[in-house]
Amino acid sequence: MKLDRRDTPVSHATDAALEAYETALQQLQAYRGDPLATIDAALAQHPDFLMGHLFKAGALMTAAENRFTAMARQSLNDAAKLKGNDREERLRNGIELLVQGHYHRGGQALDDLLADYPRDALALQIGHLFDFVRGNALTLRDRVTRVLPHWTPAVPGYGYVKGMHAFGLEECNQYQQAEQAARVALSFDPRDGWAAHAIAHCMEMQGRIDDGIAWMETSSRDWQETGILAIHNWWHLGLFHLDRGNLDRVLKLYDTVIFSQPSDMLLVLVDATSMLWRLHVLGHDTGNRMQALADIWQARMDEEHGFWAFNDVHAMMAYAATGREAQAQQVMRWLEQAARGDNTNAGMVREVGMPVAKGLLAYGRQDWQGAIDNLAPVREISNRFGGSHAQRDVLSLTLIKAAVNAGRHNLARHVLAERTAGKPESALGWTMLAQVE
């Protein structure tokens, strides 16, 4: 039995297979290169490399798309033909639960594994990303906190672990500690897009709009090669410009870097759709851009519906903004079907996804009171269907505008008081409050 670079046991591994695994792992952690291509090449030469099959299954699931589930299941089936060590068998079990849609149980299984193998970088990476899918801020932070005593700057990948910790700290509103951790991560790898992304979140949530614009523009030379994560980071820059009222700049970013090429990757679609929805709610003309997104959602939803309520809700945004009533009603039927399940997403749909989708559809119909009735009760528990504070802020923005349009100015002031207190340097909040007054 061999050990990886973090002294974690690996079975069925040749030196060449283990080296390929380390390369793929770093690509996954850094969001650079193609980790799946790297591990596929290793498996072609070493089909009995168990960790290669487990890596592929776990990496596929982190894309948060149903279309990759069958491939992940096949990788698990291949892994099941091989006898693994204790760590590998427990890792396989955790990923299996994720493939089955049991995200809470899968996350717990991975955490139990980390108690005994705290330097299992793959288990940590997968668990961290599914903490984001679950919207569990405490675990997003504490899963990493619990293993940090076993990581030192001398351990390969330490910087990426600090970057994960930074994002968890930020989602727990510990902005100063989060930014410090992220800058430590960047000292190990200045191109660490996840750590740069954590700093963007800190500045967004603190309302440090000018700092955020400067940070994202200057750091972009380092993270612009991080694929889908780079698109998400450009989206963050768009949020800062939106807050400043630079709406034409937002559309330029949309056209040049956020959705410069049509993509059916859901992480990209979610960012593009939520940005256009924000502009739609603020009354800014976005041309035919949302129609194009709605076309792509329509092509993807037969396969993707019911996998993650967060994605379904963003499809509803596209349909509600473009008046696609038939497609919107189909989403509602799919959500009703998903709500009857017994997996994690079923709970997400029941608690948050269904009312949010109803609220967005009501807003699209200009039923302002209907939007209020559905969004107001769930806005403060919306973390239960995943995403980050910055992503879910779109619900607050929609609620405020629905209240304004309904003539319920006291409700608009009520929510805006929260926004201006939390983001005192945010121009958007004060501008909206002035309009209400």
CA distance 401 to 211: 27
Q: Using 50, 70 and 90 to split pLDDT, how confident is the model at 14?
A: very high
Q: Could you report the per-residue pLDDT of 315-350, keeping only the tens digit for each? A: 999 999 999 999 999 999 999 999 999 999 999 999
pLDDT for res 435: 87
* pLDDT score of 12 more than 80: yes
Q: How confident is the model at residue 273 (pLDDT cuts 50, 70, 90)?
A: very high
Sole residue written with tokens 């299996």: 96
Structural domain includes residue 70: yes
Amino acid letter for position 109: A
On whether the CB atoms of residues 196 and 223 are closer than 8 A, the answer is: yes
**394 Cβ contact partners less than 8 Å away, ≥ 6 residues apart:** 274, 277, 278
Domain-located, residue 331: yes
Tokens of 263: 């993509």
pLDDT above 80: residue 1: no
Q: What pTM, to 2 d.p., does this model score?
A: 0.96
Percent of the chain surpassing pLDDT 90: 95
When pLDDT is cut at 50, 70 and 90, the band that residue 425 belongs to is: confident
% of the chain with per-residue pLDDT over 70: 100
Range of the domain at 154: 2-217+297-436
Q: pLDDT class for 35, splitting at 50, 70, 90? A: very high
- Residue range 157-169: average pLDDT? 98
pLDDT for position 313 = 98
Q: Residue 427 — pLDDT band, cuts 50, 70, 90?
A: confident
Please state the domain count of the chain: 1
Least confident of 140-144, 183-187, 223-227, 420-424: 420-424
Give the pLDDT band of residue 423 (cuts 50, 70, 90).
confident
pLDDT average, residue stretch 395-410: 97
Q: Residue 156: CA atoms inside 13 Å, Cβ hemisphere, count?
A: 15
**17, two tokens:** 């297979």
Q: Is position 128 within any domain?
A: yes
Q: What is the CATH number of the domain that holds 338?
A: 1.25.40.10
Average pLDDT, the chain: 96
Q: What is the pLDDT of residues 291-307, one digit of tens each?
A: 999 999 999 999 999 99
- Distance (Å, whole) CA 52 – CA 373: 49
pLDDT class for 135, splitting at 50, 70, 90? very high
Half-sphere exposure in the Cβ direction for 375 (13 Å, CA): 28
- Tens digit of each residue's pLDDT (9 = 90 or more) over 82-118: 999 999 999 999 999 999 999 999 999 999 999 999 9
Q: Is residue 317 part of a domain?
A: yes
Helix (H, G, I), strand (E, B) or coil at 2: strand
Judge whether 166 lies within some domain.
yes
Tokens 């269907």: give the residue. Answer: 385
Residue with structure tokens 């299954």?
57
12 neighbors 89 (Cβ within 8 angstroms): no
200 pLDDT band, cuts 50/70/90, is very high
Neighbour-count burial for 366-380, b at 16+ CB within 10 Å, e otherwise: ebbebbbebbbebbe
Tokens standing for 206?
A: 């603190």
Count of beta carbons in the 10 Å neighbourhood of residue 256: 10
Counts for the chain of helices (H) and strands (E), in that order: 24, 2
Strand partners, 10: 2
Q: Cβ(79)–Cβ(53) under 8 Å?
A: yes
- In this prediction, residues 412-430 reach a mean pLDDT of 90
Asked whether residue 227 is assigned to any structural domain, the reply reads: no
Could you give the C-alpha distances from 317 to 102, 109, 252, 309, 314, in angstroms and in order? Answer: 26, 34, 21, 13, 5
Please indicate, yes or no, if residue 250 is contained in any of the structural domains: no
Q: Which two tokens stand for residue 138?
A: 């405490």
Q: Are 411 and 402 in contact (CB under 8 A)?
A: no
Q: Which amino acid type is present at position 110?
A: L
CA separation for the pair 310, 345 (Å, rounded)? 9
Contact (CB, 8 A) for 168 and 137 = yes
Residue 74: inside a domain, yes or no? Answer: yes
Per-residue model confidence as pLDDT tens digits over 360-383: 999 999 999 999 999 999 999 999
**Residue 428 has which token pair?**
């958007």
Per-residue burial over 4-42, b if 16 or more Cβ lie within 10 Å, else e, is: bbbebbbbbbeeebbebbbbbbbbbbbbbbebbebbeeb
Residue-wise pLDDT for 224-266, tens only, equals 999 999 999 999 999 999 999 999 999 999 999 999 999 999 9
Per-residue pLDDT at 190: 96
What is the CB-side half-sphere exposure of residue 89 using CA atoms within 13 A? Answer: 6
Q: How far apart, in whole angstroms, are the C-alpha atoms of residue 61 and residue 336?
A: 24
The answer to whether residue 426 scores a pLDDT higher than 90 is no
What phi and psi values does residue 9 have, to the nearest 5 degrees?
Answer: -70, 140
